[in-house]
Amino acid sequence: MSIAPEIRYRFMKDIGAPLVMGMAGLKGKRKAAIKRDIPLGPPLKCSKRLKEIMTRHYFLSRYAEGARPVAWVTSGAPVELLRAFDFYTVYPENHGALCGAQKLGPELCSIAEGHGYNQDLCSYARIDIGVCLSGKTPVGRLPRPDILFASNNICQTVMYWYRVLAHHWKIPLMVFDTPFNFVSLDRSAITYMVRQFEEMIPELERISGRKFSEKKFKEVLRLGKSSAMAWGEVLATMKTVPSPMTIFDAFVHLAPIVSLRGLPVTLEYYNVLLSELKDRVSKGIGAIVNERKRLMWDNIAIWYKIRDFSRLFAERGMNFVTATYTNAWAETISYMDERNPMESLAKAYSLVILNNNLDHRLKLMERLIKEYQVDGLVIHSARSCKPYSVGQYDLKRLLMERLAVPSVVIEADITDFRAYSEEQTTTRLEAFFENIEDGG
């Protein structure tokens, strides 16, 4: 790495970033007088800290190029291996969610579509390709990657998407291939995945210019596991009645465990969040003013509708207290073991919900419904995430038969609101509200 970019990066890390965070804090104080919507309880105090962390992450990413090895990573890839080589990581899916929340999805997707990419493709992919082609981003600038790191444990689209990026940037693409878990993982599958990690190490050493340190790798695993366990404890606080936060809060506070997994700041943040939630539980403070019904969400968030849905359901005394999506970042962490790092990493990343059979998902949803005392289920059939949406109508039918839980399917897209119909959604939700109020 060049000396000049390294000096600039250190300056921005030690001096520039704190100044930017201080300015953001002043803006936050001026906005503090704005009250939360009436049906909602008091906002989480640590949201300010979350904003600081993510703002700092994207701010420093502008200066990482040339100072540190940079990797663009899929959300399901074993980033812990990259952390051992001090890669600065950028998650296009997290950036895509940010663009979606700021209602920039259609604009950036249209850029990709103008270059021949079909509107039926995942909108995260179209946003990312649109950003690469235009340079437009709400975070100022994204660093040019030295390597792309992907895994097919969440979907096959990322393979084609990252091949496009590899061609665009003329850089290597490293893939962690995970056999699908039809019944259970056998020894040959685990051996196959471990050998991939072993073959990746020399290439990562070459690209990063750093030697692999098993000691550092194990420390990253420890931090990653501790952070995910803390995130699991955060989600578990929502078993309380009333729940101290909503799934819409959790969708936002998910950012560090996705983008900053394996770093000390993530563990620090979730310990702070957990402390605040436990305090709310002890004082009986709920996320909504009048929690009468408890709901479950299936699939990724509809990022441009989070605020609208938060108020819509809260007005009816309905609180989302669990979701398959947020749970995914805590579900397999028990497999992580620094005493057997490579094998445990393979298990943790290959047994995630989207690389597992539908029976596993059905049993998971049954367990969450019982543990969180769920009264109703909202299923997001996401145009952008076909692997997550396949089988949802069967799951809906089976859950209604087994647990008699009222449910509704909303058809939308995670970031591209051109694929969302307000009229159709309103009609379906009104029927759902009537059904759940009548007791199913």
Task: Provide the pLDDT for residue 251.
Answer: 98
pLDDT of residue 33: 44
Please report, in tens digits, the pLDDT of each residue of the chain (440 residues total).
Answer: 557 888 888 888 878 778 777 766 655 555 544 455 579 999 999 999 999 999 999 999 999 999 999 999 999 999 999 999 999 999 999 999 999 999 999 999 999 999 999 999 999 999 999 999 999 999 999 999 999 999 999 999 999 999 999 999 999 999 999 999 998 889 999 999 999 999 999 999 999 999 999 999 999 999 999 999 999 999 999 999 999 999 999 999 999 999 999 999 999 999 999 999 999 999 999 999 999 999 999 999 999 999 999 999 999 999 999 999 999 999 999 999 989 999 999 999 999 999 999 999 999 999 999 999 999 999 999 999 999 999 999 999 999 999 999 999 999 999 999 999 999 999 999 999 999 998 65
Confidence at residue 438, expressed as pLDDT on a 0 to 100 scale: 81
Kindly write down the DSSP assignment for every residue of 342-390, as one continuous string: HHHHHHHHHSSGGGB-HHHHHHHHHHHHHHTT--EEEEEEETT-HHHHT
Whether 377 and 321 have beta carbons less than 8 Å apart is answered as no
* Chain centroid offset of residue 123 CA: 15
Residue 11: its pLDDT value, please? 80
Report the alpha-carbon distance of residue 80 to residue 341 in Å, rounded.
10
Going by C-beta distance under 8 Å and a sequence separation of 6 or more, which residues neighbour residue 41? 285, 286, 287, 288, 289
What pLDDT does residue 320 have? Answer: 98
Q: Cα(218)–Cα(213) distance, rounded to whole angstroms?
A: 9
Q: Are 273 and 46 in contact (CB under 8 A)?
A: yes
The vertex-144 CA angle with 104 and 212, nearest 5°, equals 125
- Cα torsion at 117, 123, 126, 128 (round to 10°)? -170
The 10 Å Cβ neighbour count of residue 32 is: 10
